[in-house]
Structure 1
Amino acid sequence: MTQTRLYMDCSAAEARVLSPLVENAFEDEGYPVASFETDAAAGRWSVSLYVSDEETGQAEKRLAEIARDAGLDADIGREELGDTDWVSLTLSGLKPVRAGRYVVHGSHDRAAPRAHEIAIEIEAGIAFGTGHHGTTAGCLDMLDACLKKRPCRNALDLGTGSGVLAIAIAKSLPIHVLASDIDADSVMTARDNSRLNGVAGQVEAICAAGFSHRRFADNVPFDLVVANILAGPLMAMAHDLARHVARGGTVILSGLLPHQKARIVASYRAQGLIFERAHLRDDWLTLVFHRP
């Protein structure tokens, strides 16, 4: 899957304005957005959007409109990434992430976990999810808290990406975890990471859009569902997701910005779920519900 990085070089103040605008504009598509400092001395930053090659032209036009509407004069650059595992290329420079009792690390940091921690080794490949994003780390925080609070015998990781959440569940409990993703590359990465972490016998990774795959019907109901996706898809699938949850079951939703909380809570309350709590990590929101 070839990709292109579209980027805008700007000041730190402009990056603070542009980054959330770009995230909001492309939240339904799920394109990754990154904001980072490129020149500390000059105070220059870059706001980047990663898109598939066929979407580059339209995405570039939308970025130009976003900058113009914000009153900013930002030129848009383009970098062809080709068929490169660009996520894994950066993994070696990332430090371990601790969330609850979990520590997510790459192969270069196998000595990082402490005795009481649950280690999860992730090589992201071309799937989303190294554990370093606030959405994944926030899910792990809430997953740890919920597993200590309620029993779980059957779990679902919806939109699994690299498989980090499914692996966390499987390493916490001796149960079956169904892990689904719409992207075939992500499913392969999740399977590879499950083998790497010794839980391939527990984690079943499938390629599926929504709940259409027969394995959902085979495993329903789930007493734990984690979905680290985006607000648009989470709202669209509220009905289907809720009907797959067992009574007394827990739902953990992430991939959300704070201003999206009210809409998501309303959508899932309308399906009979009880809102429990919100957790903010690195400006990303994780919501916890349960079915009475």
Structure 2
Amino acid sequence: MTDPHITPASWTALTTLSDKASAEALGAAMEQMDPAPDGIGVFEMEDGSGLWEVGGYFSAAPDTVALALLAAAYGAQPFAVSELPPTDWVAHVRRELQPVEAGRFFVYGSHDADRVPEDRVAFLIEAAMAFGTGHHGTTKGCLLAFEALLEDGLDPGPVADIGAGTAVLAMAAAKVWPDAPVVASDIDAVAVEVAEANLEVNDMAGRVACVEAAGFDHPALAGPFDLIFANILKGPLIDLAPDMARASARGGAAILSGILNPQAEDVVAAYGDAGFDLVRREVLGDWTTLTLRRS
């Protein structure tokens, strides 16, 4: 029987271009290759370079001559082709990931169940689940920011977790504020299912309302909320600033992450224009978490 957690050997082909239109055109042209890629990604690079990355993912070795011709035709850098060996990703994650400790919060996998301190608010997030494990630096930054607000005496109230993924942040709020209404949303239906599964695993089924929505586009997200988490990316965060202001209660707090350090000032400026004041900035490695209050 094949282990579903072990991926067979595969190949990646990556290149960069200077503009979005050419990148998207190259991505579309790659779909006509033989063998065809199993997936194609076109992304603006988050390093401030202005470049776009185009990546193809193949289950059979790609045609390097065709890739070279495509790169030349669309003005891209030569493709970097790499073979990925068969990998048991769940075993790899379990070896690499240690529990996350952020103030009173403790995020762990089942392989660390014997390490859970009795005095912590703990959440079991399995490595096999999609949409992250809760171990990313941005999640820890959000938990630390929430801890700081709790230490400052933040009163319980309605909470929204936008782009919730595994719903760790929503669960954290629901645990410390058992009577507060909490809603977790994600643009991806599978992520919503993952959030609901995590709630059940942590004996919190029904405690958080999980909805599929883009941004605040759902009746359950009309607000007003006393606390809003949004751990996504710079671009969507800036786009959501006006909607977040409308959904936030006066004096309400917002914890934002998924922001690379050089991007933080742009996010602060956008939210300042929307009526938020910066309260705190948390930097963990390459990532910044911002705590804001609606004026």
TM-score scaled by length of structure 1: 0.73
Distance 2:127 2:244 in 1: 26
Cα deviations across residues 198-239 of structure 1 (Å, max 9, x unaligned)? 22232111111121112223xx10000000000010011110
- Correspondence for 2:193 among 181, 188, 196: 188
Partner of 2:243: 240
Partner of 2:168: 164
| CA–CA separation in structure 2 for the residues paired with 1:134 and 1:140 | 10
Summarize the Cα distance change of 1:230–1:80 in structure 2 as closer, same or farther, 3 Å threshold.
farther
Structure-2 change in CA distance of 1:109 and 1:231 (3 Å): same
Query: Which residue number corresponds to residue 64 of structure 2?
Result: none
> Could you tell me how far apart the structure 2 residues matched to 1:5 and 1:127 are?
21
Task: Specify the SS of the correspondent of 1:77.
Answer: strand
Report deviation, 1:60: 2.3
Return the letter of the residue paired with 2:166.
S
Q: Helix, strand or coil for the counterpart of 1:215?
A: helix
Superposed, 1:44-83 pairs within 5 Å as 53-56=38-41, 59-60=54-55, 75-77=80-82, 79=84
How far apart, CA to CA, are the structure 2 residues paired with 1:264 and 1:172? Answer: 28
* Residue aligning to 2:156: 152
What pairs with 1:102-117 in structure 2 (closer than 5 Å)? Answer: 102-117=105-120
Alignment of 1:33-48 (within 5 A): none
Shift in alpha-carbon separation, 1:127–1:286, aligned structure 2, 3 A: same
Aligned to 1:202: 207
CA RMSD of aligned residues (A): 3.3
Q: 1:193, 1:221 → 2: CA distance?
A: 26
Q: Distance in 2 between matches of 1:124 and 1:139?
A: 20
Change (3 A) 1:56 1:259: closer
Q: Which residue of 1 aligns with 2:217?
A: 212
SS at match of 2:116: coil
Give, in angstroms, the shift of residue 90 of structure 1.
Answer: 3.9
Report the counterpart of residue 123 of structure 2 in structure 1: 120
Contact persistence 1:280–1:286 (CA under 8 A): yes
Deviation of the 1:80 alpha carbon? 9.9
Aligned to 1:261: 264
Return 5+ residue gaps in structure 2 as ranges: 1-6, 21-36, 43-52, 57-67
Q: Report what 1:286 is aligned to.
A: 289
Q: 1:116 corresponds to which letter in structure 2?
A: D
CA, structure 1 residues 238+168, in 2 after alignment: closer, same or farther (shift >3 Å)? same
Establish whether residue 92 from structure 1 lines up as the match of residue 94 from structure 2.
Answer: yes
Matched residue SS, 1:111 = helix
Q: 1:153 to 1:230 in 2, by over 3 A?
A: same
Partners of 1:88 and 1:123 within 8 A in 2: no
Listed as ranges, the gaps of 5+ residues in structure 1 are 9-17, 26-51
- CA distance in structure 1 between the aligned counterparts of 2:182 and 2:127, rounded to whole angstroms: 19
Give the CA deviation at 1:78: 5.3
Alignment deviations for residues 124-144 of structure 1 (CA, whole Å, 9 cap, x no partner) = 545323122111111111111
The verdict on how the C-alpha distance between 1:189 and 1:125 changes in structure 2, with shifts beyond 3 A counting, is farther
Q: Aligned partners of 2:232, 2:89: CA distance in 1, in Å?
A: 18
**Relative to 1, partners in 2 of residues 1:211 and 1:246: Cα closer, same or farther, differing over 3 Å?**
same
Q: How many residue pairs are counted as aligned between the two chains?
A: 240
Name which of structure 1's ranges 247-256 and 205-214 shifts more when overlaid on structure 2: 205-214
Contact conserved, 2:134 with 2:166, CA < 8 A, in 1? Answer: no
Q: Does 1:273 align with 2:258?
A: no
Amino acid at match of 2:155: P
1:7: Cα distance to partner?
7.3
